[in-house]
A and B are shown apart, each in its own frame.
Chain A
Amino acid sequence: MEQYFLSALSLVSNVGYILALVIGVAAGILLGALPGVSAPMALSMLVPLTYTVEPEIGFGLLIGLLNGVVFGGSIPAVLVNIPGTPGAVVSTIDGYQMTLRGEAGKALGVVLIASFVGGIFSILCLIVSAPAIAAIGMKFAPHDYFAIGVLGLCITTGISGKSVLLGFWSAMLGVLISTVGMDYITSQHRFIYGVTGLLDGIPFLPIMVGLFGFSQVLVNMTEPHENQKIVVQKISRLLPTWRECKGLVKSITQGSVIGTLIGALPGPGGSVAAFVAYDAIRRTSNRDFALDPHDFGSGRLEGLAAPEAANNAVTGGILIPALTLGIPGDASAAIILGALMMHSITPGPLFFQNNLDIVYLFYNSLIISNIFMIVIGVACLRIFVKLLSISTETLTPIILIMCATGAYTIQNDYFGIVVMLIFGFVGYAFRWAEIPAMPLVLGVVLGSIIEKNLRQALIIEGGSYMGILLRPSSGLLLLLSCTMLFVPYIKNVIKYAMEKKK
C-alpha cells in the first residue's frame, strides 16, 4: 500500500505525465464527440506515439484518451441525437429529450457525474479484484488458458454483429492471421513466402489502424456524404441540484455495477452494458415523479445516468481480464495490451509480480484521468461543443494522415502503411458484408495465447486432445464455449429456415 501511494506521489509530481493525461483526456473528449470516431479508432491513431516516449507518459496518454473518448461520445448523443461512440447510443433516448426541452446543460452535467462515479467504481473493483484474479491465474494450467481464450472468442462471436456465423468467421480469420510468422517453438516460418517483414508476424497496430481508422477514411472518401455541420443550442447551467443528484444514487450505483461486470466479460463492451443498465433501471425505478416529472423515454434523469455510469464503468471492467489473465475484454483493451507488448511488457498473472510499477501506473492513471475528465468537462465543455461543428471534409484528411504516419512510425518502415492499407480494405469489405471487425481483432490477440497454450497442453498430454477435454476446469470452459457458439447458431439456422418457409 505504501509503495502504491509513493508511486502516485511520484506520478503527480511528473509534469510530463500530468500533461500527457490532460492532453489524453481533452483529445479523447474531442475525438469521442466527433461522430464516427470510436474508442478503438482514437486509440489506434495515438498508440504509435507512445512507442517513442517514457511508459508513464505513453500509458498516461492512452488511459486519458480512453476515459475521454467514452465521455466525449455522449456529448453529441445528448445535444444532437447522434451518438459519438456506440456506447452512447442509449444516452440519446432521454438525453436528447432533455436537450429538446432546453435542459442540455443539466443533461451534460448528469453525464459528467455518472461517468465519473461509474469510472471510479470500476477502477476500485479493478484494484480490489485484480490481485486475487491474478493469484488464481497463477494456478491455471495451459489447458485452462487455452479454454479461456476459446471462451473469450465464442462470447465475442455470439454477440457481435448480425449473425453468429459472421462473427465466428471474423474471429477465426483473426486466429489464422495470428499464426503468420515464425513459430515460437520450432522457429519454422509460416505463411511468409519470402517477405522478411512478416518474420515477427503481421504487426498488430497497423492492423488496428487499418480496420478502424483507414476503413472509415475509405468510407468517407468514396461514398457520398452530407456536409455534417452540426448546429448546437447554447449550454446554460451545467450541474444538477443536490436534491436531483441524491435521486440518482440508485441508477448510478446500478449502472456502475452492471458496467463493471459486463466490462469484465470478453466481448460485450459499452453499448451492451448501457442497454442492460437502462433496461434494469427502467424496470426497478420507483419513478418518483415529485423529484423528476418526466418518464423514461421523455427525458428522465435516471434514464440518462444509468447507461452513462455503465458505459464508463466498462473502462475499468475491460482491464480486469486484460491485465490479470492477458485476455482483452474488447478492442480498446486489445490495443492497450498491444501497447504494453510494444514496451516488452506481457500482461497476465506474472504482470502483477514483475511489473508492479506499471500496475500502479495503470491504477493511478485511471483515477487521475477520471478527476481530470470532470475538471476538463466542466471547464471546457462549451469549447468542445463548438468544435463539434468540424466537417467530415476537414476531418477525413486529418484522420488519414494520422493513420498513415502512425503506421509508419511503428516499424520506421513503409511496411506498416502497406499492412494498414490491406486491413483498411479488409475493414471496408467487412462493412459491406456486415461482418463485425471486433472478433477479428480479438482473434489476432487471443490467437497467439490460444496457440501457445494449446501446444503446451498437447505436449503435457502426450499429444492427446482428450486430456484437455477431460480436465474438469478446461473441459467445463470448452463446453460453455460450445454452448455459446452452437445454441445461437442453431437458433439462427432454424429462424432463417422458418422465415424462408413463410
Chain B
Amino acid sequence: MKKQKFIGFSVLLLSLIFLFMSAALPIDSRNFNSSPRTLPLLVSAVMVIFSAGHLLFPSFSIEPATINKKVMFRVLIFLSVILAYTLIIEKIGYVASTFALAMLSSMMMGIRGYKQTLCFSLILSLGTWLLFTKAFSAYLPSGTLF
C-alpha cells in the first residue's frame, strides 16, 4: 500500500471513531445546535469527508511506506523504558529512577566507557533534581530510595 493511501485510511478510521464517539454524546434539548457534541461532530465529519475525498482523488504523493523493523523495535523498546520510568518514579524516587533512565539512554546513544556513563548520569540526575527543587521550588517525588 502506498504511503499516501495508508495515511488516508488511518485518518479516515480515526475520524470515523471520533464521529461515532461524538454522536454518542448527549444533545442539549434547549440548544440543539450548541451542545457538547457540536464541534467534535462537525470536525470529525469534515475529516471523514476530506479523508474519503483523498482516497478517491489523491492530492499529494509521498515516498512509498518503508517501515524499518529494526527501528520500530528500538522505538518500542525505548517507549517501554519510559513507561517503566513513569511507573517507578513515584515508588523509588526521582533521583534513583532518573539516574537509571539517564544510564540506559546514554548506553542506547552509545556513550563509550562505563565510568563516563556513570558520571554523566549521576551529574544529570542530581543536577536536574537540584535545578527543579532548589532553584525553582518544584516538587519531585522522593520514594523509597531517593
Contact = CB atoms under 8 A, between A and B. Distances in A.
Interface of A: 48-49, 51-53, 162-166, 168-169, 172-173, 175-176, 179, 183, 185-186, 188, 190-191, 218, 220-223, 392-394, 396-398, 400-402, 404-405, 408-409, 412, 414, 417-418, 421, 425, 428, 433-435, 447, 450-451, 454-455, 458-459, 463-465, 489, 492-493, 496-497, 499
A409 B59 contact: no
A244 B98 CA distance: 52
Which label, helix, strand, loop or mixed, suits the secondary structure of the B interface? helix
Contact of A417 (B71, B82, B108): B82
Enumerate the 4 nearest inter-chain pairs by beta-carbon distance, A residue then B residue, closest first.
A163-B60, A463-B33, A183-B36, A458-B34
Contacts of A392: 109
Contacts of A179: 39-40, 43
Interface residues of B, number: 67
Contacts of B23: none
Nearest to A171: B43
Interface of B: 3, 7, 11, 14-15, 18, 21, 25-26, 28, 31-40, 43-44, 46-47, 50-51, 54, 57-62, 71, 74-75, 78-79, 82-83, 85-87, 89-90, 94, 98, 101-102, 105-106, 108-111, 120-121, 124-125, 128, 131-132, 136-140
A417 B121 CA distance: 20
B21 A191 contact: yes
Which label, helix, strand, loop or mixed, suits the secondary structure of the A interface? helix
A414 B28 contact: no
A409 B43 contact: no
Given A188-B25, A191-B21, A222 B34 contact: no
A218 B81 CA distance: 12
A188 B38 contact: no
Contact of B120 (A162, A173, A397): A397
Given A218-B75, A405-B128, A168 B50 contact: yes
Nearest to A403: B82
5 contacts: A48-B138, A165-B60, A186-B36, A393-B110, A450-B39
Contacts of B51: 169
Given A190-B25, A455-B39, 9 more contacts: A163-B60, A168-B50, A169-B47, A188-B26, A397-B106, A421-B83, A455-B34, A459-B34, A496-B58
